[in-house]
A and B are shown apart, each in its own frame.
Chain A
Amino acid sequence: MSDFFSDAWSIFIAATTVVSLIACLALLAFASRRQPMAGDNSTGHVFDDDLVEMNNPLPMWWVVLFVLTVVFSFVYIWFFPGLGAAAGSLGWTSRGELAADQARAAEAMAKVYAPFAALPAEALSQDPKAMAIGQRLFLNSCSTCHGSDARGSKGFPDLTDGDWLHGGTPEKIEETIALGRTGVMPPMAAAVGSAADVHDVANYVLSLSGDPHDSIAASSGRRKFVACAACHGVDGKGNTAIGAPNLADKVWLHGWGEQAITEIVNKGKTNVMPAQGGRMTAGQIHLLASYVWSLSQPRRVAQR
């Protein structure tokens, strides 16, 4: 019991509890003493000229109930924690109750997820019930970053466009959810060269996806792109094995345009998808991954 600075507090509280309970009984005994009553069955007390206090005795069952509540309190603090830091004979804790409740809930939920565990994502994506559960999981755990419609925003990938940093198979998505991902783009300014070289490379990157660019700068940037090719590939199409984005498509996770590209080449970027394995069961992750996978499939039964 670390809630008290000193054991004295625990003893103080325990003593207060016991004394209070005994005081309740003492009060009852004190108030139960026979009292003299006037002949008209009043206590003889008169207030405000004419308000007479009558003798209105409480029923005996009320006294019995009062005593029972005190007895109940003693029984309670015998079994449950109530006397300062004393644990009570049952050893009950709120933490223990929470754990038991969670275990019960997990057991109940396991039954819900069991029928889906062995099914592949292709089958689950056609099952409205599975997709409804998947959507709930997504709204609870993923939508804060990826948006309710899973289409992300700057820095948070769109999960519906079919463009995957780490691979888009159901197995890969499951792995991403369970273990998380860390995408690292190191600062490359030194490797690329001067500021002019970075300008050239940025224009070359724009040219890969057919976006408006300075073609002279782009053609000289092509040579400097060698520094980038180690990860993004010679053709700039990326590498899902290390999470290097495809630079030749229209997806611009961290912003579009020469300025955004220049900044990321100069400063680098570390982007983290936190691991969910500790928060969710394998069954939940399987359904969630199937739901996420289904979002980028051409024919979706999933309710958005």
Chain B
Amino acid sequence: MSRPIIPIVAEAAGAESVSLYVSEAKIQTRAVSGWFATWRWAIVWLTQILFYGLPWLPWNGRQAVLLDLGARRFYIFDMVLHPQDVVFLAGLLILSAFTLFLFTAVAGRLWCGYACPQTVYTEIFMWVEQLVEGSRQARIRLDAAPWTPDKLLRRGGKQAVWLAIGLWTGFTFVAYFTPARTLAAELAGFELGPWETFWILFYGLATYGNAGYLREQVCKYMCPYARFQSAMFDRDTLIISYDAERGEPRGSRRRGVDAASVGKGDCIDCTLCVQVCPTGIDIRKGLQYECIGCAACIDACDGVMTLMGSPKGLIRYATQNGIAHRWSRSRMWKRVGRPRVLVYGAILLAIATAFVTSLALRAPFKADVVRDRGALARLVEGGRIENVYRVQLMNGTEQAQRFHVDVEGLAEATVAGWSDVELAPTEARWVPLAVRVPPDVARTLGPGAHPMRLRIALVAPAVTGDSDGAARAPLAERREKSTFVIPR
């Protein structure tokens, strides 16, 4: 606050007039191989085999993972989830968020660099580019070249493969909502519904546009995570760092020549780290918000250093403290167990435990009891008081279920005219239910609303001639609170 804002004028020394908008330069990255590239490709394979393969995996006579929006049933392997299970989706999102926090606090943008779909599809699309149009140099030449048949063929070929991958991705995405085999048959017969067509094209073209053209622009200008990451970084976060003390002053030298002997640092200024960078930054300028932590520059630099006969790690995963204080690797790693990481870790562990436990102990059915909207209470034969309820039963399994209901917490109350209800697999149904109380009990209780519970028991399938589920031990049961009203 102490210094006033000083507007500069065009005539000031070194000032120049510039536009506030620029066309972004096209980044042609050099292909890179090495330890971290291998890891990234391993994760690309893992995630993509999972993504493209899952819709084709059969399970219990249906698709293993199917989100049936029309019927509002979500099948995930052995589980059948109802919309009422949306809490698990919330749990999954919280779990993902804390995993992200933890990994970011420990080692920066691991998600961005290795597993984010934007990175993964960009990687795949760049691989196609490399295959069809050639190396970085060849591509830069091709960009500048006039339109020859060869250029047309290469560009056309790349576009065709990109579009094919994009559309296949769109198809796979929709196959999580419409069974893949049905969708394939519909596609073959040109019988796709309007929404299926829209989503295949939309998701397909979004993949094509994001991975083919927007690439690092998504990370730089659209992704919110790129901007809030800094809240989770501290000076003990492992980030991709250039060891300036070791590298500077940079300059070229002959292979095998000791850098110190010619008064130079280890960096030979080959700019390979810039050429491989998918966001086009120079890591030697330090941590920048554009850096997605893909470690391509580490691989490139390690290769060069090996070639030059210098030790690896001029660019490496290191913390700001580690670089500043020349800490050893083990000293840096010891700082991983700092309070921020421990808190993230503990929360993550707690949520993960709760998530897995609640999923494992999930009841095979759900029940909800609602008092009837129509009448509070009515008088029936023998002066008994009757209340009516609606019970919603939801079968959370793929087997038929049978339910028995009785009343708890209300003396001599009986369930009138209920015969055990049978629910088809995954079915949800409202069932009316009447509860009766004898006149003398009603008099004792007095007018008003009296708390009671309905015990809803899942019982074994009916044996012939057996209509009373009470006789059999319940496989699972729930108690739902409600009230019984006795009129004045």
Contacts and interface: CB of A to CB of B under 8 A. Distances in A.
A280 interface: no
Contacts of B260: none
B150 interface: no
B216 to A, nearest CB: 10
Given A35-B18, A304-B431, A46 B388 contact: no
B60 interface: no
Among A43, A47, A57: residue with most chain B CB under 10 A? A57
A143 B2 contact: no
A5 interface: no
Contacts, number: 129
Interface in B7-26: 7-10, 12-24
A47 B1 CA distance: 7
Interface in B329-350: none
A99 B203 CA distance: 31
Nearest to B422: A303
Contacts of A149: 372, 388, 417, 432-434
A145 interface: yes
A55 B18 contact: yes
A143 B16 CA distance: 78
A153 B14 CA distance: 91
B21 A153 contact: no
B13 A59 contact: no
Contacts of A304: 417, 431-432
Contacts of A143: 372-374, 432
B12 A38 contact: yes
Given A55-B18, A144-B373, A149-B432, A44 B24 contact: no
A60 B8 contact: no
B387 to A, nearest CB: 10
A37 B17 contact: yes
Contact of A45 (B5, B217, B421): B5
A241 B12 CA distance: 103
Interface residues of A, number: 43
Contacts of B15: 36-39, 44
A256 B379 CA distance: 10
Interface string A45-65: 111110000010111111100
Interface residues of B, number: 43
Contacts of B17: 34-37
B375 interface: yes
Contact of A39 (B2, B13, B430): B13
A145 B374 contact: yes
B14 A58 contact: no
A151 B384 CA distance: 14
Given A144-B373, A144-B374, A32 B21 contact: yes
A39 B14 contact: yes
A60 B373 contact: no
A43 B8 contact: yes
Nearest to B371: A148
Interface string A13-47: 00000000000000000011111111110011111
B390 interface: yes
A36 B10 contact: yes
Contacts of A61: 24, 217
A148 B372 contact: yes
Contacts of B6: 44-46
B215 to A, nearest CB: 12
B221 interface: yes
Contacts of A47: 5
B325 interface: no
B290 to A, nearest CB: 11
Given A34-B19, A60-B21, A154-B375, 11 more contacts: A37-B15, A49-B3, A59-B22, A59-B23, A59-B217, A62-B221, A143-B432, A144-B373, A145-B374, A151-B434, A153-B375
7 contacts: A34-B17, A34-B19, A35-B17, A36-B9, A39-B14, A44-B15, A60-B23
Nearest first, the 4 A-B pairs at minimum CB distance are: A39-B14, A44-B8, A153-B375, A148-B432
